Amino acid sequence: MSLPKDFIWGFSTSAYQIEGAIEQDGRGPSIWDSFCNQPGRITGGSSGAVACNSYNRTADDIALLKSLGATAYRFSLSWSRIIPLGGREDPINDTGMQHYVKFVDDLLDAGITPFVTLYHWDLPDELEKRYGGLLNRQEFPLDFERYARIVFEALPKVKHWATFNEPWVSCILGYNVGSAAPGRTSAASTDPWIVGHNILIAHGRAAKTYRKKFQAQHGGEIGIVLDGDATYPWDASDPEDIRACNRKIEFSIGWFADPIYLGHYPAAMRAQLLSRLPTFTDEERALVKGSSDYYGMNHYTANYVKHREDAPNLEDYAGNVDILFSNKNGDWIGAETESRWLRPCPQGFGDLLRWISERYRNPKIYVLENGTSIKGENDLPIEKILEDDFRVQYYDGYVREMAAAVRLCGVDVRGYFAWSLMDNFEWAEGYRTRFGACYVDYDNGQKRYVKKSATVMKQLFDELTKKD
């Protein structure tokens, strides 16, 4: 037993991936609605229009969580459901806000602790059209701050807040690769870094508002959620590959965590990007540094990293490295999954937890996403889908690595959330890729079925958590 007795565990979802009901009760369109309407963007031409219909099935989802023994649930709010046009002078949709008020109350009545994320990639579409959305350094942080304040006021019972989920994805996939909303690839040499800077400022403004006006009375905490992969050198004997591993993490995790915990962008980013990387004003630095009460960690996979000999091009976003799944000796980092970017490597989870703990002086950590798809899962009969032993083994390996990092190295992990509670709209991959611990039958009313992986979680955490 190595996890603290008050350790929190549960499952994660996000609004656009599960809620559906995109035109119900006054919700306005988001950039993901618009992105999905563009031909060729989403596998199968699908969207989150219906998804798991969780907006209309909150009672079912809560009952499901309770049946699995989960002690907490991490979900996100739809900004455009609360403020359909998004801006600080735009009207509030009280029906949308009250939906979340009731949902939080119902979770608490069921003994489930809500962890609420304000922004999981679904910007109100009007703000994208009005001023360029996340690219606007003046308007976007102010609109986000007002949205956050409205939600803080309406949901005083929530004690665990996250501002942004995986800003790296918003910046790189949204403004460089173009595979996520808003799907921009123009001016890729500058846009991702501008967006990342603006997200940090918006996060800092929201955190300052919460701490100044709500934290003492509500007794909660606020942070940001960062994704990152573990790294190993392609050639373990090559010092350049070893350095490249750290550089790759600096370009993903360090991009956001260094300003928050250390007060500046990572050295590797400053050296490569030069003037393309925005600089903090004194006021912005004061907003951002120290602005998270905890480190929100999303983690799925690991890579072998090989340095490049040539100078980086303007579109490079990873630190001028090759990101690979096999090393110089031909060893694979893990087995294939349905997701081309994901191969299980439990050891990498432990190593990255230790890296974060050492670099940022042992912050309190919540693991807010961790999970896997299974190669070919969607093509199996339901009986075999429910016997998801690959996912069972993934969770078991990763959770035990996390527990070992706590026990042996003193890493301060306070909670773990599996991604995801149920199969859902997997962004550009549509509905073909399934990450759920519960199966969703999209053809028959989004009925939920519990997979084996969902049933083993309580037993796993009961085994690993201290009893007194």
Mean pLDDT of the chain: 97
Residue 172's alpha-carbon distances to 183, 317, 376, in angstroms, are 10, 7, 27
* Residue 217 to residues 210, 277, 322, 373, Cα–Cα distance (Å): 10, 38, 49, 41
Q: Let me know how long the chain is.
A: 468
Give per-residue pLDDT as tens, 98-130: 999 999 999 999 999 999 999 999 999 999 999
- Residue 188 pLDDT level (bands cut at 50, 70, 90): low
Model confidence at 53, in pLDDT bands (50, 70, 90)? very high
What pLDDT is stored for residue 187 in this prediction? 59
Compute the distance between CA of residue 17 and CA of residue 405 in angstroms, rounded to an integer. Answer: 31
* Contact (Cβ atoms closer than 8 angstroms) between residue 227 and residue 12: no
Out of 19, 369, 401, 426, the active site residue is 369
Q: What percent of the chain has pLDDT over 90?
A: 98
Could you tell me which residues come within 8 angstroms of residue 327 by beta carbon, excluding any fewer than 6 positions away? 232, 233, 234, 235, 236, 304, 333
Q: How far apart are the first and last CA of the chain?
A: 11
Report the greatest alpha carbon distance in the chain: 60
Q: Angle 99-103-108 (CA atoms, 0-180°, nearest 5)?
A: 155
- Of the candidates 19, 126, 128, 166, the residue annotated as catalytic is 166
User: What pLDDT was estimated at residue 467?
Assistant: 87
The answer to whether 405 and 411 are in contact (CB under 8 A) is yes
Q: Note the pLDDT tens digit of each residue in 429-447.
A: 999 999 999 999 999 999 9
User: Does residue 415 register a pLDDT over 90?
Assistant: yes
Give me the helix-helix angle, 191-213 and 139-154, nearest 10°: 40
Query: Parallel, antiparallel, or unpaired for β 413-419 and 438-441?
Result: unpaired
Residue 1, pLDDT above cutoff 80: no
Token pair, residue 157, equals: 């019972």
**358 noted as active-site residue:** no
Mean pLDDT confidence for 309-317: 94
Predicted TM-score (pTM) of this structure: 0.98
So what's the pLDDT on residue 223? 99
468 — pLDDT class (breaks 50, 70, 90): confident
Average pLDDT for residues 221-247, to the nearest whole number?
98
Query: Parallel, antiparallel, or unpaired: how do β-strands 438-441 and 447-450 relate?
Result: antiparallel
pLDDT (0 to 100) of residue 260: 99
Q: Counting beta carbons within 10 angstroms of the beta carbon of residue 74, is it exposed (0 to 12), middle (13 to 18) or buried (19 or more)?
A: buried
Burial class of 14 by CB neighbour count within 10 A (0 to 12, 13 to 18, 19+): buried
Whether 401 sits among the annotated catalytic residues: the reply is no
Please state, in angstroms and rounded to a whole number, the distance separating the CA atoms of residues 32 and 35: 5
SS (H, E, C) the chain: CCECCCCEEEEECCHHHHCCCCCHHHCCCEHHHHHHCCCCCCHHHCCCCCCCCHHHCHHHHHHHHHHHCCCEEEEECCHHHHCCCCCCCCCCCHHHHHHHHHHHHHHHHCCCEEEEEEECCCCEHHHHHHHCHHHCCCHHHHHHHHHHHHHHHHCCCCCEEEEEECHHHHHHHHHHHCCCCCCCCCCCCCHHHHHHHHHHHHHHHHHHHHHHHCHHHHCCEEEEEEECCEEEECCCCCHHHHHHHHHHHHHHHHHHHHHHHCCCCCHHHHHHHHHHCCCCCHHHHHHHCCCCCCEEEECCCEEEEEECCCCCCCCCCCCCEEEECECCCCCECCCCCCCCCCCCCHHHHHHHHHHHHHHCCCCCEEEEECCCCCCCHHHCCHHHHHCCHHHHHHHHHHHHHHHHHHHHHCCCEEEEEEECCCCCCCHHHCCCCCCCCEEEECCCCCEEEECHHHHHHHHHHHHHECCC
